[in-house]
C-alpha cells in the first residue's frame, strides 16, 4: 500500500487543517516541506501547475485542495468520519463556508500592519517583501477578493459571538459530533493564534477557545520526513489507482478523453492541463505525463474548480 505523503509547510493554515485531519483519523504520513511562495518546481512536477498548499500524494495519485484531501482520507479510514450520517450537506456546506468566508476574514486580520510586523520580525526584509508580492498576485483572476481590514474587524465579533453562543448551548462540536466543519473552522483560528496581535480574536471568546483546544488536541498523527525528490521518485515508480466507477453525465458536455484545463475558481487559479479521465459528482481526475514524475493522476474537487476545453 502506498504511503500518504503531505506536501505542506509549517505556517500554512490549510496545511494545519490537513495535519489535524490526519491526527483525527490517527493516520501515519510522510511530510514533504514545500516552499511557501513560487517557484515550487518539485510540487508542480506532481500537480502540473497547481501551487496551493496542501497537496496529498498517494503513489502516482495527487490530491489538490484540502476539501478533496478530506474525502481521500475518509476513503483511507472511514471511522471516525468527517461526514456524520444524515449531515452530509450540512457538514460539507459549513466546511466550505468556513474555508472561504471565515478564512478570508482571518487573512485580512493577519495581514494588518501590526500583525505582519510581528510575523516578519525575524524574516529578512527581502523575503518579507517577496511573500507579500506573491500573495497579492495570488488573488488575481479569481472570484475571491481580499476583504478590507475595517470590514473584517467590523464583522468578526458577529461571527465569533454566534459561535460562542452555539458552543455554550450545543456541546463539544459544531454538529454535536466531530465533522469536517470543525476542522475547516479550526485552521482559521490557528492562523490567528500564531501571534499576540491576532490571538485575542480567538481568546476573547472562552467557549470558542475551549473548542479550538479540543480540536488541536487531536494532534497531527505520526509524521516522518521525506524529501521532495524522493516523493517525485515514488510517483514515477507507482501506477495510479483504478478510477472510481460512477455514472455521471456532465451538464456542460465535457467528455472523457478530452484535453482540458482545471483551475480553482476563487484564487490561485493557475490551470492544470491534462486528459479528462474521470468527471464525477465530487471529483475530477486528469491524466498528465511529467518528465520527472511520469504518468500521474491529478485529482481536484468538483465544487470550486472549473473545467475549460483546451
Ligand atoms: N481551497 C484550498 C485553499 C488552500 C490555500 O489557500 N492555501 C494557502 C496556504 S494556507 C496557499 O496555497 N498559499 C499559497 C501557497 O502556499 O503557495 C484548500 O482547501 O486546500
What is the pTM for the complete model shown?
0.98
Same domain, 74 and 171: no
Same domain, 100 and 121: yes
How many whole angstroms from 99 Cα to the centroid of ligand 1?
Answer: 10
Same domain, 270 and 291: yes
Residues 6+ apart with CB under 8 A from 306: 262, 263, 265
Same domain, 41 and 98: no
The answer to whether residues 67 and 284 touch, using CB atoms and an 8 Å cutoff, is: no
Mutation choice for ligand 1 from 6, 38, 53, CB with most ligand atoms inside 8 A? 53
Residues 6+ apart with CB under 8 A from 272: 47, 48, 49, 50, 64, 261, 262, 263, 286, 288, 298, 300
Nearest CA to ligand 1 atom 7: 53
Choose the final residue of a domain: 188, 216, 244.
216
**Residue (of 301, 284, 224) closest to 5 by Cα position:** 224
Mutation choice for ligand 1 from 144, 268, 302, CB with most ligand atoms inside 8 A? 268
Choose the final residue of a domain: 196, 216, 236.
216
Same domain, 99 and 201: yes
Helical packing angle, 149-170 and 206-216, nearest 10° = 80
| CATH code for position 264 | 3.40.30.110
Residue 26: how many CA atoms within 13 Å on its side-chain side?
Answer: 5
Q: Which residues, in sequence order, are bridge partners of residue 267?
A: none
Please state whether the peptide bond connecting residue 54 to the residue before it is cis, i.e. omega within 30 degrees of 0.
yes
Same domain, 122 and 237: no
- Which residues constitute the domain of residue 162? 88-216
Pull the grid cell for residue 35: 516552499
Same domain, 64 and 104: no
Pull the grid cell for residue 225: 520526513
Same domain, 118 and 169: yes
Distance CA 306, CA 269 (A): 10
The tens place of each residue's pLDDT in the chain, 310 residues long, gives 689 999 999 999 999 999 999 999 999 999 999 999 999 999 999 999 999 999 999 999 999 999 999 999 999 999 999 999 999 999 999 999 999 999 999 999 999 999 999 999 999 999 999 999 999 899 999 999 999 999 999 999 999 999 999 999 988 999 999 999 999 999 999 999 999 999 999 999 999 999 999 999 999 999 999 999 999 999 999 999 999 999 888 999 999 999 999 999 999 999 999 999 999 999 999 999 999 999 999 999 999 999 999 9
Same domain, 207 and 231: no
Choose the final residue of a domain: 155, 185, 216.
216
Same domain, 189 and 93: yes
Could you list the beta-strand ranges (E) of 154-282. Answer: 222-225, 259-264, 272-279
Same domain, 108 and 149: yes
Same domain, 209 and 98: yes
- Ligand 1 pocket, residue 190 CB under 6 Å: no
Query: How many domains does the chain fold into?
Result: 2
| CATH code for position 140 | 1.20.1050.10
Amino acid at each position: 500500500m502506498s504511503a500518504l505523503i503531505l506536501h505542506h509547510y509549517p505556517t500554512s493554515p490549510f496545511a494545519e487543517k490537513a495535519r489535524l485531519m490526519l491526527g483525527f483519523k490517527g493516520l501515519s504520513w510522510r511530510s514533504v516541506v514545500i516552499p511557501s511562495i513560487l517557484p515550487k518546481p518539485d510540487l508542480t512536477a506532481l500537480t502540473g501547475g497547481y501551487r496551493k498548499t496542501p497537496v496529498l500524494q498517494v503513489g502516482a495519485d495527487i490530491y489538490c485542495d484540502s476539501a478533496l484531501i478530506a474525502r481521500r482520507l475518509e476513503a483511507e479510514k472511514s471511522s471516525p468520519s468527517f461526514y456524520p450520517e444524515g449531515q452530509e450537506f450540512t457538514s460539507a456546506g459549513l466546511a466550505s463556508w468556513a474555508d472561504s468566508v471565515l478564512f478570508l476574514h482571518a487573512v485580512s486580520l493577519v495581514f494588518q500592519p501590526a500583525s505582519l510586523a510581528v510575523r516578519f520580525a525575524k524574516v529578512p526584509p527581502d523575503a518579507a517583501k517577496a511573500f507579500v508580492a506573491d500573495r497579492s498576485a495570488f488573488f488575481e483572476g479569481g472570484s475571491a477578493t481580499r476583504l478590507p481590514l475595517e470590514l473584517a474587524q467590523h464583522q468578526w465579533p458577529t461571527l465569533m459571538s454566534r459561535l460562542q453562543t452555539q458552543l455554550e448551548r450545543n456541546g463539544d462540536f459544531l454538529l454535536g459530533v466531530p465533522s469536517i466543519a470543525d476542522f475547516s473552522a479550526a485552521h482559521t483560528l490557528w492562523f490567528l493564534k500564531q501571534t499576540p496581535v491576532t490571538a485575542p480574536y480567538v481568546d476573547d471568546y472562552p467557549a470558542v477557545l475551549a473548542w479550538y483546544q479540543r480540536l488541536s488536541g487531536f494532534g497531527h498523527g505520526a509524521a516522518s520526513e521525506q524529501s521532495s525528490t524522493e516523493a517525485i521518485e515514488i510517483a514515477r515508480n507507482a501506477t495510479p489507482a483504478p478510477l472510481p466507477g460512477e455514472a455521471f453525465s456532465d451538464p456542460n458536455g465535457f467528455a472523457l478523453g478530452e484535453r482540458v484545463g482545471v483551475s480553482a475558481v476563487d484564487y490561485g487559479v493557475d490551470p492544470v492541463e491534462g486528459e479528462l479521465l474521470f468527471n464525477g459528482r465530487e471529483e475530477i481526475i486528469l491524466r498528465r505525463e511529467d518528465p520527472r514524475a511520469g504518468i500521474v493522476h491529478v485529482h481536484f474537487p468538483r465544487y470550486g474548480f472549473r473545467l475549460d476545453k483546451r
